[in-house]
Structure 1
């Protein structure tokens, strides 16, 4: 793949998906499972969530090769009532376990109006917005919680990292407008963004991390020397704690000292927990009227009075939607550091490398 001085290249969604699938098949995943995981990973990059897309592929392969991922899992429901279920992922790729949970939540919500499905014995599954967005296609609101796959956050005022980035995502259908999709870590930045900065050879902005003396930590390659900061100070710490309880402890998944750092440990099952809540709009009223009202709200916010120097007021998820449209036209940018790592992986597994085109932007 050719690159310029900006050390990035452009690939199409289909090429990226095919490459990821081929790598996963060579690593040991069955074809259908590899296809589902590859589709979700490529969608992450397509929407600009580059900390959770193909950048994670070498790490996933390491875990598969080391036995840390079950390539032939028996994903199943282990607890169930009309409007809830707990899914045992059997240490599968997280994308498979969470997709299973989301599909089940949608199916149940059609009958009960609201349904909660949680996972245990799952794994890292990519950006939260992928799963909060799944119910939208079925006329539902989606709410997603997850326990992060490594602890990067101490309790407020503490120095021992007992919590993770523990993300929240909420997807709300609209009509003519793009859906509103909030996807946020309970830390100022997700750890995937730290990894992406390191791959691109960039420094972190002040306010993402501090070292153990409380000083700003700007070099992503020194991330192990400090920890991420919570959003809103003690309020973000409280959110991380509660999300961990809802997504982890509630389903018998890991939290606190039980969380396995999958960045360093490739063999120990992570027992990751996630939860998806599906809310069927039809249970609350006319979905078309709701969508029209959301459109009106979006337009009111977008067209409201702006502060000096502000060009546009964005809605949550709007920039990801814009990137998705742009990348569908021009290709998905992959940084030079990731390109090099993927080329090495392709060579090891005897897979055709990414070709792409030169990024001249």
Structure 2
């Protein structure tokens, strides 16, 4: 057991810092604020592999020309229940937000809408965008192609697939909304990066080296690959998600995927897809959400294995973290804080203000 200290930052301070850094990298102020809000939301829900830990990488790509500071996001295909958006190599947060808002608008008219993106970039955790729809009492499904290939096809060793995540959000009446957010690999690569920054080992089952042995040192992740969830089933899931979010939209997939961890200047042509369903087109919203609440109660109150205190629903623990971090501060690991301090000095902005420390026990 090792104990690693983390600094704490209020959501407001973190938002201020991220926004200042992006403005210093010459992003328009409004875009910087919108991206900062989504990045802070990622950290607040515990998605620390996709939040402020990515800031230095984003700035590096922006300054290297790998991301367009002032994109002209536009539709390249438009029908009543679908669209394809070209992100003009802008920040993924902006591109996917535009796609999600359009899908919500179209779903109000058609009952269901599918909007895909091309020429986008890394956009943070999938659940951010699924939750935008569920906040409108709609159902959302989100697919994305990851920004680096970390997984081979089942039985192979060539890295031809990414973590390719999926998120599904379903509204409730009084319960916490059901929000599933998962990679098609045993873990998201961002969690590997977060482990490295905290000086922690990975559990067996996350990665394997090219000889088939478990890989637990996150600093040696280049020596192996991520494992799919459920063996060959996870491989199949990663493949079809990549086709739906990448190939279908004219975005990168397979050998075309650019590893943005190692290449800061090449366009990634990242693809994402968001599907939004208006519950009212299928059922009475009140009846549906009440039925979901009943189902949740049945699951939560079902018989438990010895030693299990609570059965959790997807999204519940993230909701609890949002409230806890809003009140007590967002943990920022010392490794990430060092990177942010270096970035602040590089950009000639004030360093992130932290107000306390917390100790976390890590196996």
TM-score above 0.5: yes
TM alignment of 1:19-30, pairs within 5 A: 19-30=17-28
CA RMSD of aligned residues (A): 0.8
Is the contact made by 2:118 and 2:270 (CA closer than 8 Å) also made in structure 1?
yes
Q: Of the candidates 48, 63, 72, which is equivalent to residue 74 of structure 1? A: 72
| SS of residue in 2 equivalent to 1:291 | helix
Deviations 1:117-164 (A, max 9, x none): 000000000000001111111120010000000000100001101000
> What is the Cα deviation at residue 7 of structure 1?
2.6
| SS of residue in 2 equivalent to 1:138 | coil
Q: Of the candidates 169, 186, 192, which is equivalent to residue 171 of structure 1? A: 169
Is the contact made by 2:5 and 2:358 (CA closer than 8 Å) also made in structure 1?
no
Deviations 1:51-108 (A, max 9, x none): 0000000000000010000000000100011000000000000000000000000000
Give the distance between the partners of 2:356 and 2:335, measured in 1 at CA: 15
Is the contact made by 1:136 and 1:171 (CA closer than 8 Å) also made in structure 2?
yes
Give the distance between the partners of 2:348 and 2:59, measured in 1 at CA: 14
TM alignment of 1:1-361, pairs within 5 A: 6-360=4-358
| SS of residue in 2 equivalent to 1:133 | helix
Q: Which runs of 5+ in 2 are unaligned?
A: none
Runs (4+) off by over 2 Å: none
Deviations 1:296-352 (A, max 9, x none): 111111111100011111101111011111111101000000011100100111111
Give the distance between the partners of 2:63 and 2:5, measured in 1 at CA: 29
Is the contact made by 1:207 and 1:229 (CA closer than 8 Å) also made in structure 2?
yes
Q: Which runs of 5+ in 1 are unaligned?
A: none
Is the contact made by 1:7 and 1:337 (CA closer than 8 Å) also made in structure 2?
no
> What is the Cα deviation at residue 356 of structure 1?
1.6
Give the distance between the partners of 2:208 and 2:136, measured in 1 at CA: 42
| SS of residue in 1 equivalent to 2:83 | strand
TM-score for the superposition, normalised by structure 2: 0.97
Give the distance between the partners of 1:339 and 1:347, measured in 2 at CA: 12
Give the distance between the partners of 2:247 and 2:358, measured in 1 at CA: 48
Deviations 1:238-278 (A, max 9, x none): 00000000000000000000000000000000000000000
| SS of residue in 2 equivalent to 1:6 | strand
Is the contact made by 2:331 and 2:358 (CA closer than 8 Å) also made in structure 1?
no
